[in-house]
Amino acid sequence: VIDLRNNPGGLLDQAISVSDAFLEKGEIVSTRGRNAEETQRFNARAGDLTKNKPLIVLINGGSASASEIVAGALQDHRRATVIGTRSFGKGSVQTIIPLGSGNGALRLTTARYFTPSGRSIQAKGISPDIEVLQEVPDELKARTDTRGEASLRGHLKAEGDEQTGSQSYIPPDPKDDKALHTALDLVRGIQKNSAYPPNPKTAVPN
């Protein structure tokens, strides 16, 4: 079980490295700018850390950027079953452009991230295969949902319909964590769901 809940992301190369550890082949992620020649594709190398054992990835409204790349890649390849709530939707690529003479730099959005099947993450996020909502204490209900990328002022618009934020609450006591319990019950065979175990043979070719 890979827990990416409330993981705000990090470097692209680390997302590729984590995804590559569980994939034998195929695309992990692509970045696409305005022009076709600006497209970059990042592919997996042979070798699976777990020798093809079924995986589960936990996500929620606080999972963003690099963590969404990992979840999207493993989901598209049917390498993992994704459980939880829809992720944040941070799927844009920023390029740092120096302004010269040490006078600062400009952060410019230059591309979008796409999953192996061609889904854009931007302002949409990754939807789980199995949605699991947590029981939130009454005193926290007003502040346990993230707004999501689509609700941020000046965000890069999605291609198609945008999605709002989702639940990001994780119970402090693991015994109350419904998403974690669902994952463990599936692994142990206590609970059954058609989405688990994932079947790489049904993955969308790329």
Range of the domain at 161: 2-202
Distances (CA, A) of 62 to 13, 66, 148, 149: 20, 12, 8, 10
Phi and psi torsions of 159, nearest 5°:
-90, 100
Q: What is the DSSP letter of 2?
A: E
pLDDT of residue 160: 67
Q: What's at 119, amino acid-wise?
A: R
Instruction: Characterize the bridge pairing of strands 105-114 and 27-32.
Output: antiparallel
pLDDT tier for residue 35 given thresholds of 50, 70 and 90: confident
Say whether pLDDT at 69 is over 60.
yes
Size of the chain, expressed as the number of residues it contains: 206
Mean pLDDT over residues 145-163, rounded? 64
pTM, full prediction: 0.88
CB 61 within 8 A of CB 87: yes
Cβ 4 vs Cβ 63: under 8 Å: yes
State the pLDDT at residue 82. Answer: 99
CA-closest candidate to residue 184, choices 33, 5, 60, 3: 3
What pLDDT, in 10s, does the model give residues 43-57? Answer: 999 999 999 999 999
Tokens of 206: 């790329």
Q: For residue 80, is pLDDT > 90?
A: yes
β-bridge partners, 96: 107
Any idea what the CATH number is for the domain that residue 191 is in?
A: 3.90.226
Catalytic residues: 65, 76, 90
Total domains in the chain come to 1
